[in-house]
A and B are shown apart, each in its own frame.
Chain A
Amino acid sequence: MCLAVPALVVSIDGNEGEVEMAGVRRRVGLQLVPEARVGDYVLVHTGFAINVLDPSEAAESLKLFRELDELNAQDGTSS
């Protein structure tokens, strides 16, 4: 019930904007993300941006996953 994909906001025109994902572009509704700015990444669901993605949280998550093996070792649980 939740098919939403990340796309880059490339232009904003009032309530609508153009987003881009790997070269694919579409106009989407921005009513749900009034705070979105060009250059932000948003989650796109049924032709609307439903949320702005937080790049620092994304980086943090990826860093955490990368460090998991060290964490596993500390817990004495690495296999």
Chain B
Amino acid sequence: MKYVDEFRDPARAEALLRRIRAHATRPVRLMEFCGTHTHAIFRHGLRQLLPPQVTMLSGPGCPVCVTSAADLDRAIALSRIPGVTIATFGDMMRVPGSQGSLQEAKAAGADVRVVYSSLDALDLARKQPDRTVVLLGVGFETTAPTVAAAIVQAAAEGLGNLRLLSLHKLTPPATHAILRSGEVALDGILAPGHVSAIIGAQAWQFVARDYALPCTVTGFEPLDILAGIADLVEQHEAGRAELHNAYPRGVRPQGNPAALELMGRVFAPAPASWRGLGTLPGSGLALREEYRAFDAAPLLAAHGVGTAEAREPAGCRCGDVLRGALAPNRCPLFRRVCTPERPVGPCMVSSEGSCAAYYRYGGDA
């Protein structure tokens, strides 16, 4: 696989590890913001190969994990409305809300379909004109422009039976919230490579400028991740706090203009509720006026579904895990009560949730 195999080369990985070991002269704590980084780090066994001075902390970059219980409940409520077909990315199926998951709703008779692409939701809507297809819009800036493009296409076709429940969120506000709180001591940030492909490497300048932390835009193959970590470790050792781009083949300084334009055309920033971080202003995306006809929210109101505050499951510490304040294996429920088969919270369900990664790949092998 081109652009994949070369970036998994064990010899170059070993060279990068040597560099990291050489420069990690004192403890260094790095946060990988993105859940896909967490997953990749575990999958390739990178944690084990890094020197003990380097601590990797997982952040809130798991769009499924940060979807609040209340939002999940709204999605499930939509699935119960007669005539509604829910189209969702697979990641959301097993996440528990206050009353079960989408998977359980499906077992109980709801029409829930897993889609790989938002375009597949359009396909469902075309094929079933008598049903209302509701796409669950989950994902950060990597996904939001793709959903925007799908909405624009739906509008052009006059597809009247498609709706979107936008649960999209933006990553810089969450990063600000974590860094501002000072709750977790950090020495550097591994910035998400594919979000940055959209918003641009320069979007992360604030980390170095406002928080005096080194920040490196990082890709997802083993060599990319090791290069990102090596760069942060070197910066930390040298007392530098700069923004670097360790994923130049995929990320440009100003990002992807076409994607940003589409995203901005269809969505506007709005407050959003993040599990673990609370409500952050301007951290979510809501449909603009011109596309409001696609909003699924009125369906909830029309069917008398209230916006009751959902409670997080008892004892669930996902919020703390998402802020990097608690390592998954320190959660009292980890493994004893909360497992991938019987998850209490989303961090254990989502394939790139920290807890799932620790459970599946962690443990001293």
Chain A residues proximal to chain B, CB less than 8 Å: 1-6, 8, 15, 21-22, 28-29, 31-35, 41, 43, 45-48, 50-51, 53-55, 57-58, 60-62, 65-66, 68-69, 71-72, 75, 77-79
Contacts and interface: CB of A to CB of B under 8 A. Distances in A.
Interface in B95-111: none
Interface string B113-146: 0001111100000000000000000011011011
A73 to B, nearest CB: 10
Contact of A45 (B4, B153, B194): B194
A77 B233 CA distance: 14
Contacts of B139: 1, 46
A47 B117 contact: yes
B197 A68 contact: no
Nearest to A50: B197
A65 B12 contact: yes
B6 A62 contact: yes
A2 B149 contact: no
A35 B259 CA distance: 12
Contacts of A31: 149, 152-153, 258, 262
B18 A1 contact: no
B262 A32 contact: yes
A66 B223 CA distance: 11
Contacts, number: 154
Contact of B194 (A2, A15, A54, A60): A2
A68 B16 CA distance: 7
9 contacts: A1-B139, A6-B2, A29-B119, A51-B251, A58-B249, A65-B223, A69-B15, A72-B19, A75-B22
Nearest to A49: B146
Interface of B: 1-4, 6-7, 9, 12, 15-16, 18-19, 21-23, 34-37, 61-63, 89, 116-120, 139-140, 142-143, 145-146, 149-150, 152-153, 192-195, 197-198, 220, 223, 227, 248-251, 256, 258-259, 262, 352
A69 B119 contact: no
Nearest to B171: A1
A61 B256 CA distance: 21
Contact of B116 (A4, A5, A47): A47
Contacts of B248: 54, 57, 60-61
Given A34-B258, A46-B118, A65 B22 contact: no
Nearest to B119: A47
Contacts of A15: 153
Contacts of B153: 15, 29, 31
B256 A50 contact: yes
B23 A32 contact: no
A54 B149 contact: no
Given A45-B143, A53-B249, A68-B12, A1 B120 contact: no
A24 to B, nearest CB: 10
A79 B18 contact: yes
B15 A46 contact: no
Contacts of B140: 1-2
Contact of A72 (B22, B116, B152, B192): B22
A72 B22 CA distance: 8
Nearest to A66: B12
A8 B1 CA distance: 10
Contacts of B22: 72, 75, 77-79
Given A60-B248, A62-B12, 5 more contacts: A2-B195, A3-B194, A48-B146, A50-B259, A77-B19
A15 B18 CA distance: 45
A34 B63 CA distance: 27
Contact of B2 (A8, A32, A61, A72): A8
Given A61-B249, A79-B22, A1 B352 contact: yes
Contacts of A72: 15, 18-19, 22
B34, B37, B249, B250 — which one has the most chain A CB atoms within 10 A of its CB?
B249
Give 8 closest A-B pairs by Cβ, nearest first. Answer: A47-B117, A2-B194, A77-B22, A6-B3, A31-B149, A57-B249, A58-B249, A68-B15
Given A2-B193, A2-B220, A31-B258, A65 B4 contact: no
